Every structure is written in C-alpha cells, then in structure tokens.
C-alpha cells in the first residue's frame, strides 16, 4: 500500500490540483524524489539548494512533524498519511 | 426588547445589546462582563482585521487597539469591509474607527497609525490582554510572534492566500508552541507570493478573520472561567475555500525553538527583513542592541 500525500493550500498547485497523491517510497525524501519525477516544480518549492526542507514548509507524517523525527530521512510505511503545508502571510 | 431578566445594576441598554450573549449558558452576564473588561490589540485593519474588529466590537470587547500605518486603496475594498469607497486615501485606522463606533460606541478604540517595529512593538503589546495577528507580510508576522513570546501575550494567528487560510492560537503556556516552532523562518520572497501577486478570494479573510474573532472571545471567556469552547492551542486549522473544507493539524512545541525555548531571547536583536533569521549567539553578542525610541503614536479614544 503506498503512502498518501496531501498538499494543502497553494501547494496543491504543485501536484496539478490533486487531492491525494500516492507514492511508493521508504522515506519522505525518497517520496519527494519520486514525486519530482512527476511534478517538475516540486523540489524547487519544497527543498533548499542544500537539499534540506525549506524552513517555511512543514511535512507531517501521520500528524507528526518530520522536524521532530528524522526530517527527510523519516521512514514511511504502507498507508502513511503525509500532509504538506506552507507558511502563508496574506491578510 | 430584552429577552433576559435584569438582575444587577446595569443599564437596560446593556442587557438589550448583549441579550443573545447573556442568553448563552457558556457566556451569561459574567462572561459578558469579562468581554467588556478585556483589551485586544489587532495588528492590521485589512482583510483579516476587518471581521476581527467588527465582531470584537459588536461583542463588546472593552478596549480595542488597532495598528495600521496604511491608507485605504480602491483595491482593498473587495475584502476589507471596514472601509468604504469614500474612505479612499484616508488612514485605515480612522476609517475603521468610524465604522466601529457606529456598531458599538461603548467600546474604547485606540488608534495607532504606525508600522509595527522593534522600537514600538513591546510598548504596544504589553498594554493589552491578547494580540491578534491580522497583518499581511512575513516580517510583521515574525515580529508579532517574537514580541508576544517575550511579553507572554496570547496570540491569535490568522493568514490567507488565494482560497486558503490558516488559524491557530499561541497561548504562551509552557506546553504550547509558537509560530517559529511551526515555521522557523520566512520563505524567500520568490517562493511564496503575496496576495497582490497571487490574488485573494475576497471572502477568504472573512472566514479566517471570523474564526480569529471567535477564538479571541473563547480565549477571553475561558480565561475568566467560562467554558465557551476549545482553543486552537497546538492545532493549526487549515481552510480550503475551493473544497469548502477544513483540516486540523496537530502541532507541537519545538524544544529547540530559537524563540520560545530560549529564556534570554530578545526580539530586538532580530532584523525583521526578508527571512527573519534569528542570529546565532555569537552574532547576537556582536550586534548592538536596537535603541528603544519614544513612541510617536497618533492615539484616538472613543
């Protein structure tokens, strides 16, 4: 069973507006590499030049912030729910 | 005509004005009095600040501080409902005050036609019970977060872009994270567009600002012993206007947060430009502390 990614808010545009994107991968970083093959703008918007997650982006694996786990090395298992959000500032 | 029994020595108009609150078991007379005694600083009187100020004024929050340096533009009016066509070019705080005093003249409204800066932020924030972030840029949002952490003022956060919105509450309690726990730094400007660049569906700030106002009122009530509802503490409410859907994401305090986990953090050491990076301890030691300047604030009280 693949992991299920949800990109919320403006980030949804990165995956062509899809509600859920399914990925077979063993880590969050691996999943993002896989998604990059499908969606060319994705890495640039989520990752800094050094390959780390931009600090205005948050990824939650089953509601847990990957910054408090192993960042992009955080392991994925079948059926994990991954939520990706970006800081926004408009008012 | 009032629907509640008059039980104390308060004017009949008070019972009439707040009858629907008083009728609520979760509010009642004592809750309404708590709202009347509260003071709230609203930073920004635009898309978010409009519904926030409208509802807090109508609810009878005793004192509202409004901070906004800007003037009304025609392109504001699609969403910034405090202001009208004839207000174009006028200070937003002035326009806001004129609207609000018509809704509820019993509310004291203090106007600060100023930019929020490291020089004035602490003096402003410490005068109020809690703060609402209704600003429109990352620099101001990080400054608001950092000064509220330092002053230990509860912060009701809201932000919008296009059809999306976010709401949460940073209570400044030991077990509650801050905005920097969630997003440590602002994005490079080219990666997250502003509303001017990307657009904003006019009602989006109406939804999010109304939720902020609701959280403010519930927070005031809960702090005065009334169980009116749940606070979005350590929870981020995410709104998708295209899907008419809400999601709640569980948040956690970052034990290594450079702001809320550092007892000696001083927001005046931070340059709130671009990415709002917290300087390292060695950089902090070298940096000359920003001079506190006397406030020069245009203040009007109704």
Contacts with B70 from chain A: Cβ below 8 Å: none
Cβ atoms of residues B249 and A87 within 8 Å:
no
Closest-CA distance, A32 to chain B, in angstroms, reads 18
How far apart are alpha carbons B84 and B145 in whole angstroms?
Answer: 30
What is the C-alpha to C-alpha distance for residues B124 and B116, in angstroms, rounded to an integer? Answer: 9
CB of A10 less than 8 A from some CB of B: yes
Count the neighbouring beta carbons within 10 Å of the beta carbon of residue A15. 19
Summary mean pLDDT of chain A = 93
DSSP H or E segment with residue A50: none
Q: Rounded mean pLDDT of A63-68?
A: 92
* Strands A81-86, B63-67: pairing kind: unpaired
**Cα(B98)–Cα(B82) distance, rounded to whole angstroms?**
9
ipTM score: 0.92
Could you tell me which chain A residue has the CA closest to the CA of B253?
A68
HEC-encoded secondary structure of B172-211: CCCCCCCHHHHCCCCCCCCCCCCHHHHCECCCHHHHHHHH
Strand-pair partners of B250 = B235
Which three-class secondary structure state does DSSP give residue B241?
coil
* CATH number of B38-286, picked from 3.50.50.100, 3.40.50.720, 3.10.20.30, 3.90.1720.10: 3.40.50.720
Which pLDDT score is estimated for A69? 93
Contacts of B68 in chain A (CB under 8 A): none
| Cβ separation A8–B158 shorter than 8 A | no
B178, pLDDT greater than 70: yes
CA–CA separation, B174 vs B301, rounded Å?
Answer: 35
Chain A residue with minimum CA distance to B203: A91
d(Cα B94, Cα B74) in Å, to the nearest integer?
Answer: 16
Q: Nearest chain B residue to A45 by CA: give it.
A: B191
Which pLDDT belongs to residue B283? Answer: 45
Domain boundaries defined on chain B: 38-286
B118 sits in the region (left: phi over 0; alpha: psi -120 to 50; else beta) called alpha
Q: Could A91 and B44 be called an inter-chain contact, meaning their C-beta atoms sit closer than 8 Å?
A: yes
**Nearest C-alpha neighbor of B234 from the set B216, B252, B211, B255:** B252
Judge whether residue B288 has pLDDT over 60: no
Domains of chain A: 3-86 (3.10.20.30)
Task: Using the predicted structure, report yes or no on whether residue B1 has a pLDDT greater than 60.
Answer: no
pLDDT digits (tens, 9 = 90+) for A18-51: 989 999 999 999 999 999 999 988 998 999 989 9
User: What is this structure's pTM?
Assistant: 0.90
- pLDDT greater than 60 at residue B295: no
Q: B240 vs A11, B101, B136, B169, CA distance in Å?
A: 11, 33, 19, 19
């Amino acid at each position: 069973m693949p992991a299920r990614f949800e990109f919320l808010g403006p980030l949804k545009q990165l995956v062509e507006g899809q509600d859920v994107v399914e990925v077979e991968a063993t880590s969050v970083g691996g999943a993002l590499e896989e998604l990059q093959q499908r969606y060319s703008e994705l890495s640039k918007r989520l990752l800094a030049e050094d390959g780390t997650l931009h600090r205005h982006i948050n990824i939650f694996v089953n509601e847990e912030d990957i910054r408090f786990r192993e960042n992009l090395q955080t392991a994925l298992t079948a059926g994990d729910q991954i939520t990706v959000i970006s800081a926004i500032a408009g008012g | 005509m009032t629907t509640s029994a008059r039980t104390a020595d308060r004017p009949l108009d008070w019972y009439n004005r707040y009858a629907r609150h008083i009728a609520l078991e979760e509010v009642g007379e004592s809750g309404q009095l708590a709202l009347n005694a509260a003071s709230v600083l609203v930073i920004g009187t635009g898309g978010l600040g409009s519904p926030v100020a409208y509802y807090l004024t109508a609810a009878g929050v005793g004192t509202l501080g409004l901070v906004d340096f800007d003037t009304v533009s025609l392109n504001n009016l699609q969403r910034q409902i405090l202001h009208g066509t004839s207000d174009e070019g006028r200070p937003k705080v002035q326009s806001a005050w004129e609207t609000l005093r018509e809704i509820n003249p019993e509310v004291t409204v203090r106007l600060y036609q100023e930019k929020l800066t490291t020089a004035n932020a602490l003096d402003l924030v410490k005068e109020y019970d809690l703060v609402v972030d209704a600003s429109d840029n990352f620099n101001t949002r990080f400054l608001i977060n950092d000064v509220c952490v330092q002053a230990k003022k509860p912060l009701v956060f809201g932000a919008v872009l296009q059809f999306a919105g976010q709401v949460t509450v940073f209570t400044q309690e030991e077990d509650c994270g801050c905005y920097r726990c969630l997003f440590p730094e602002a994005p490079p400007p080219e990666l997250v567009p502003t509303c001017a660049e990307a657009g904003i569906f006019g009602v989006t700030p109406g939804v999010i600002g109304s939720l902020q106002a609701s959280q403010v009122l519930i927070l005031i009530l809960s702090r005065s012993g009334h169980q009116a509802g749940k606070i979005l503490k350590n929870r981020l409410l995410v709104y998708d206007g295209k899907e008419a859907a809400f999601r709640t994401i569980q948040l956690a305090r970052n034990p290594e947060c450079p702001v809320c986990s550092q007892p000696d953090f001083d927001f005046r050491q931070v340059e709130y430009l671009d990415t709002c990076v917290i300087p390292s301890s060695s950089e902090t030691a070298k940096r000359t502390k920003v001079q506190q300047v006397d406030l020069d604030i245009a203040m009007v009280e109704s």
